[in-house]
Amino acid sequence: MSLADNPQNTSEDQTLQNFGYRQEYKRELKRFASFAVGFSFISITTGIFTTYGAVLNWGGPLGIWTWPIVIIGQVFVALIFASLASRMPLAGYSYQWMSRLANPKIGWLVGWVSFTFLIVDVVAVDYAVAATVLPSLFNYTESSLNAWLATGIVIVIQMVLIIFSTFWSTRINNTAVGTEIVGIVGLTLLLIIVGAIRSLLHADHLFSTGIVSPTGYFNPGTLTSTGPFMLSFLL
């Protein structure tokens, strides 16, 4: 018998309705908002912009063909997370999942590791913004002290938004993600158009090693170098 069929629960629901209360679950995060949270957390464009130069320097244009391999692995990871999310509560993140899949001790360890990772990740991103973007926007002197002060202010603003207003947090995040997607698509189209006008688009570029010597290109490397092709996995 389900909870809804229990006479006691039905009586309690009727009592609540008599006082003007109704049993309901208000879902504040819509589909795009849920997507935007994951998209901004993973920060795909940040990874591409910070590692693409290393790919070209160490693996050449040919290094981009490791991307399909990465996509296959990421699809498997996404399927695992989807399976976990459909069977276990999302609250508690990795602590919840590992405690149920293994035991609470391992869940406790993984939970603290994840918590530490999130602290470092958020502060690192905020510091990068405070040290590079904000000085240009607000025209203040770039220094370590100013960067740390700006980082603290950004963290406090984020904390206040998350604690007091899910609505505004999602609105700001949705706007940022939407702007990022439009900007990336626009930049991609612009590069394609400029490349086509200047006759710079050639299919053989996709299989070129660029500035990297083709001799020994696929060697695994030594103890001090993993090889140019392996480093292209940074993408």
The band of 175, judged by pLDDT with boundaries at 50, 70 and 90, is: very high
Give one word for 27, left, alpha or beta, with left for phi > 0 and alpha for psi -120 to 50.
beta
Q: How much is the pTM?
A: 0.65
What residue spans define the domains of the chain? 43-90+209-235
Of residues 107 and 65, the one with the higher pLDDT is 107
Amino acid 3: pLDDT: 45
Average pLDDT of the chain is: 80
Q: What is d(CA 101, CA 80) in angstroms, rounded to the nearest whole number?
A: 13
Q: State yes or no: pLDDT of 190 exceeds 80.
A: yes
Residue indicated by tokens 């901004």:
40
Highest mean pLDDT out of 14-23, 80-89, 154-163 = 154-163
Amino acid 221: pLDDT: 58
Q: What is d(CA 17, CA 12) in angstroms, rounded to the nearest whole number?
A: 9
Of residues 227 and 16, the one with the higher pLDDT is 16
Residues 77-125: pLDDT tens digits? 889 888 887 887 777 778 888 888 889 999 999 999 988 988 888 888 8
> What sign for the dihedral angle of Cα 172, 178, 182, 183?
positive
Of residues 148 and 68, the one with the higher pLDDT is 148
Residues 203-214: pLDDT tens digits? 888 888 888 888
Across the range 171-187, mean pLDDT stands at 90
Amino acid 223: pLDDT: 46
Of residues 66 and 194, the one with the higher pLDDT is 194
Amino acid 25: pLDDT: 58
Across the range 200-225, mean pLDDT stands at 76
29: CB partners within 8 A, 6+ apart: 37, 166, 170
Q: State yes or no: pLDDT of 193 exceeds 90.
A: yes
219, 52 contact by CB (below 8 A):
no
199: CB partners within 8 A, 6+ apart: none
Highest mean pLDDT out of 10-14, 193-197, 209-213 = 193-197
